[in-house]
């Protein structure tokens, strides 16, 4: 029988990232009205917002798991 390794508290569960990204993406598209923006700018803003959401979720997860 193998001993289970302890779960890492370094990263939040995957579903928490997905939920946060979907919610912020919906808010972003409602606020910014993507029809008014160039495609390349939509992509840059989208990727930047995803990176910020991942960083925020990870930071909050680590603080709450101490």
Q: Is residue 35 part of a domain?
A: yes
Tell me the average pLDDT across 44-51: 94
- Is residue 1's pLDDT more than 60? no
Q: Are 54 and 17 in contact (CB under 8 A)?
A: yes
* Total domains present in the chain: 1
- Contact between 30 and 54 under an 8 Å Cβ cutoff? The reply is no
Residue 26 pLDDT level (bands cut at 50, 70, 90): very high
Residue 18 lies in a domain: yes
Confidence of residue 37 (pLDDT cuts 50, 70, 90): confident
Task: Let me know if residue 19 belongs to a domain.
Answer: yes
Whole-prediction pTM: 0.78
Q: Which domain holds residue 37?
A: 14-64
Place of tokens 């579903």: 15
* Cα–Cα distance for residue pair 14/3, rounded to 1 Å: 23
Residue 11: the pLDDT is: 92
Residue 7 is predicted with a pLDDT of 59
| Tokens (6 digits) for 58 | 């990870």
């Amino acid at each position: 029988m193998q001993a289970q390794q302890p779960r890492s508290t370094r990263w939040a569960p995957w579903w928490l990232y997905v939920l946060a990204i979907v919610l912020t993406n919906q808010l972003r598209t409602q606020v910014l009205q993507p029809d008014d923006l160039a495609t390349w700018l939509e992509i840059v803003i989208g990727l930047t917002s995803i990176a910020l959401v991942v960083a925020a979720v990870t930071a909050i997860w680590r603080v709450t798991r101490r």
